[in-house]
Amino acid sequence: MEINITFRDGPIDVEITATEEESYTDVLEELGQFVEKYDPIGYQTQKRPDQENPSEETEETLHEGGEQGSISEFTETDDENSYFEVVDATDSELLRVLTLGSTDGDDIDEFPQIIGDVQVLGDSNQDRLLNGSSVLLTVLSEVHGVSRASTSELKNALDESGIDIGNWANVGRPANADVYLNRRGSGSSATTEIREPGKEDAYEQIQALVDNLQSQEPAAEK
């Protein structure tokens, strides 16, 4: 004779089996030990990596039977701005005018790009090149912690963003170019770094991109 005992609770399904040579009391004792240690809501209260100390309110909600997906702590809202505190925009709006790119340490795997209307970055192409450079380098610096980038990669990102780079040689002509950007080297080894005044201007340019986006939306969607 074979003894089968099954314990089910939500997603938990435990089956304990014993052959006729084994004592059924041992099987029951084994099940009892499992049930004693089993936490019926433990799987709901597992912490996310960024939630080392869940609030008492969160724990209380869980113990009252609330589902994890309904807890506001775990749900991103449209009112959040995780990237630039000084820019009045939500994450959703920022990601509609910029791509953030990706990095591996100091190596840039994918350069950020501007996907909003680049015409708001300046009246002349020189201005758009300078301001666009400030925006992209600020994204790298503030989001990824990378302050210096290959100038050739920066130019490619500006081109992909829709800014004409044919006039790149004149990007340093505006009076504030050297105040915004720290450019070193030449040719394929040239690099460009964003300076603090350049970041301050970049925030204004990002705000202009977001404001332009909002102005294009129907009033009901704002």
Q: From residue 162, how far is each of 94, 140, 187 by CA, in Å?
A: 18, 19, 23
Which pLDDT band holds residue 177 (cuts at 50, 70, 90)? confident
Q: Buried (b) or exposed (e) across 145-167, using 16+ Cβ within 10 A?
A: ebbebbbeebbebbeebebebee
Tally DSSP H helices, then E strands, for the chain.
7, 9
Q: How far apart are CA 141 and CA 136, in angstroms?
A: 9
Checking if the pLDDT of 72 tops 90, the result is no
Which residues sit opposite 150 in a β-bridge? 191
148 vs 82, residue with greater confidence: 148
Q: What was the pLDDT predicted at 197?
A: 93
Question: If you average pLDDT over every residue of the chain, what do you get?
Answer: 77
Q: Which of 12-16, 58-62, 194-198 has the lowest mean pLDDT?
A: 58-62
Report the pLDDT value the prediction gives residue 120, as an integer from 0 to 100.
Answer: 96
Residue 53 corresponds to which amino acid? N
Contact of 219 with 152, CB cutoff 8 Å: no
Summarised one tens digit per residue, pLDDT across range 33-67 is 665 655 554 434 344 444 444 444 434 433 344 33
Cβ 45 vs Cβ 35: under 8 Å: no
Domain boundary assignment for the chain: 3-73, 91-221
Which single residue is written with the structure tokens 């002509």? 173
Q: Has residue 104 got a pLDDT over 60?
A: yes
Fold category of 91-221 in CATH: Arc Repressor Mutant, subunit A (1.10.10)
Q: Which amino acid is at 173?
A: R
pLDDT(122) > 80: yes
H-helix or E-strand spanning residue 9: strand 3-9
What pLDDT does 39 receive? Answer: 54
Tell me which residue has tokens 């350069």.
111
3-class secondary structure, 51: coil
Closest C-alpha to 103, from 142, 161, 158, 45? 142
Give the pLDDT score at 167: 83
Give the model's pLDDT for residue 87. Answer: 95
Highest mean pLDDT among 22-26, 150-154, 186-190: 150-154
Does the model's pTM come out above 0.85?
no
